[in-house]
Amino acid sequence: MVSESEINVNSKVKVVSLFSGGLDSSLAILLMLRQNIEVHAIMFLTHFGCDIVDRSSCSQDPYPVAEKFGFSVRLSHLGEKFVEIVKNPKFGHGKNMNPCVDCRILMLEEAKFVMEQIGAEAVITGEVLGQRPMSQMRNTLNLIEKETDLKGRLLRPLSAKLMQPTIPELEGRIDRELLEDINGRSRKRQMELAEEFGLEDYPNPGSGCLLTDPNYSSRLRDLLKYSSIINFDTLNLLKVGRHIRFSPETKIVVGRNEEENKKIEQYKQPDDIVFEAMETGSPITILHGKATDDAIEFAARATARYCDQKTQPSVRITVTHPDHGDVIEVAPIDNSKLAKMIL
Ligand code: SF4
């Protein structure tokens, strides 16, 4: 029979960590590693975040830092579950379309599942008391703990000393004295810790979630209101081009440069109509939805408006339907007509 004190000494403590690749979640992990605790990090991906395989994107590739400091990391895409909470968050949206409280709950529920699977003792996060208005106030942190049924097993190492001790702290499995008491928006202490741990090259705080972006949010609201097709392509299309709501049934998207033209073609739906300024090859425009004669003419004129021949009285536009193609000649549309419809 092994005594409790022997358990403390002999078995390695494991925790599961939410990991964004940012400063706070990295430091939370490093505070665990400092105590020789085994960390299993999870980086959650959604349709609204950065693309970690895109070097120009805002998020971090998690593997170099995991390798450098010695913890494991797995990627987990929240897919449809996340889209559902964006549409109908139990605890509402923030300033834009960000359902931060529901988002934290969902991620923690997933992490809790892993915690139970691997026999870890707690889920840790990089949350800092009082740092963010919606999801990191004390009552919200308590609410999140209650909703996830992680009572006593949810540890925020950066603010732990300001909160009730968790079970592994009470049992002496995690040393509370080696945790932090950070409160508020200043990042001074985090910068000191980063230096102490030799942590470099982390993204700026707040970057990464498109749902906090007002422009993206307004396009997303429009998509959720008018379209039944919510998928990888339709959500990614919101990131590029000028979006024009022509009517409840019709949307037009015009590329702003060559890169966006390519993405627009990549994300279009099979029935979308494609427009292209014939002489200049750019922009590419797509019309999604009901293709009335008026809508087609409007999309062609918008294409003409944004091409290099926009000062000409008329411009030739190729119109590619799913089953045939046309060429039409139209006058570039007036800015004042477009302005009212741009999302
Ligand atoms: S900002 Fe985005 S990713 Fe972060 S908690 Fe809010 S909804 Fe989730």
Specify whether 143 is located in the same domain as 8: yes
**pLDDT value, residue 54:** 44
**pLDDT value, residue 3:** 44
Ligand 1 centroid to 99 CA: how many Å?
7
- What number does the ligand 1 atom closest to the CA of 100 have? 6
Ligand 1 centroid to 226 CA: how many Å?
24
pLDDT average, residue stretch 176-183: 97
Ligand 1 centroid to 297 CA: how many Å?
40
Residues 245 and 295: their CA atoms lie apart, in Å, by 10
Q: Residue 35 pLDDT more than 50?
A: yes
pTM here is 0.86
Strongest mean pLDDT among 45-59, 120-134, 154-168: 154-168
Ligand 1 centroid to 165 CA: how many Å?
26
pLDDT average, residue stretch 104-114: 97
Specify whether 110 is located in the same domain as 243: no
**pLDDT value, residue 6:** 43
pLDDT tens sequence across 57-97: 445 688 999 999 999 999 999 999 999 999 999 999 999 99
Which residue's CA is minimally distant from atom 2 of ligand 1? Answer: 209
Write the CB contacts of 252 (distance below 8 Å, at least 6 apart in sequence).
243, 244, 246, 285, 286, 287, 288, 295, 298, 299, 302
Specify whether 184 is located in the same domain as 225: no
Domain boundary among 197, 230, 250: 197
- What number does the ligand 1 atom closest to the CA of 94 have? 6
**pLDDT value, residue 5:** 44
Q: Which of 42, 43, 135, 143 to mutate to test the pocket of ligand 1 (most atoms within 8 A of CB)?
A: 135
Give the total number of structural domains in the chain: 2
Specify whether 13 is located in the same domain as 102: yes
pLDDT average, residue stretch 27-41: 98
Q: Is residue 208 part of a domain?
A: no
Domain boundary among 162, 197, 232: 197
Ligand 1 centroid to 67 CA: how many Å?
26
CA 207 to chain centre: 9
Domain boundary among 136, 163, 197: 197
Ligand 1 centroid to 325 CA: how many Å?
43
Q: Residue 205 pLDDT more than 50?
A: yes
Q: Residue 13 pLDDT more than 90?
A: yes
The CA R_g of the chain, rounded to the nearest whole Å, is 25
Specify whether 190 is located in the same domain as 304: no
Ligand 1 centroid to 24 CA: how many Å?
14
Specify whether 192 is located in the same domain as 226: no
Ligand 1 pocket residues where CB is under 6 Å? 98-100, 103-104, 135, 209, 211-212
Ligand 1 centroid to 148 CA: how many Å?
17
Residues 316 and 319: their CA atoms lie apart, in Å, by 10
Q: Is residue 260 part of a domain?
A: yes
Q: Which of 100, 102, 104 to mutate to test the pocket of ligand 1 (most atoms within 8 A of CB)?
A: 100
Q: Which of 90, 211, 216 to mutate to test the pocket of ligand 1 (most atoms within 8 A of CB)?
A: 211
Are 106 and 82 spatial neighbours (Cβ–Cβ below 8 Å)? yes
Which residue's CA is minimally distant from atom 1 of ligand 1? Answer: 209
pLDDT tens sequence across 140-171: 989 999 999 999 999 999 999 999 999 999 99
Specify whether 243 is located in the same domain as 335: yes
pLDDT classification of 51: cutoffs 50, 70, 90: low
**pLDDT value, residue 11:** 75
pLDDT average, residue stretch 19-26: 93
* 3-state secondary structure string across the chain: CCCHHHHHHHCCCEEEEECCCCHHHHHHHHHHHCCCCEEEEEEEECCCCCCCCCCCCCCCCHHHHHHHHCCEEEEEECHHHHHHHHHCCCCCCCCCCCCHHHHHHHHHHHHHHHHHHHCCCEEECCCCECCCCCCCCHHHHHHHHHHCCCCCCEECCCCHHHCCCCHHHHCCCCCHHHCCCCECCCCHHHHHHHHHHCCCCCCCCCCCCHHHCHHHHHHHHHHHHHCCCCCHHHHHHCCCCEEEEEECCEEEEECCCHHHHHHHHHHCCCCCEEEEECCCCCCEEEEEECCCHHHHHHHHHHHHHCCCCCCCCCEEEEEECCCCEEEEEECCCCHHHHHCCEC
What letters, b where the CB count within 10 A reaches 16 and e where it falls short, cover 68-96?
Answer: eeebebeeeebeeebbebbeebebebbeb
**pLDDT value, residue 201:** 78
Q: What is the mean pLDDT of the chain?
A: 91
Specify whether 220 is located in the same domain as 158: no
Q: Residue 206 pLDDT more than 60?
A: no
Backbone angles phi, psi at 261, to 5 degrees: -55, -45
Measured CA angle at 198 (ends 195, 203), to 5 deg? 80
Least confident of 124-133, 164-173, 260-269: 124-133
Q: Provide the percentage of residues in the chain whose pLDDT is more than 70.
A: 92
Q: Residue 2 pLDDT more than 60?
A: no
Q: Residue 50 pLDDT more than 90?
A: no
Q: Is residue 243 part of a domain?
A: yes
> What is the residue range of 335's domain?
213-339
Q: Is residue 205 part of a domain?
A: no
- What number does the ligand 1 atom closest to the CA of 104 have? 5
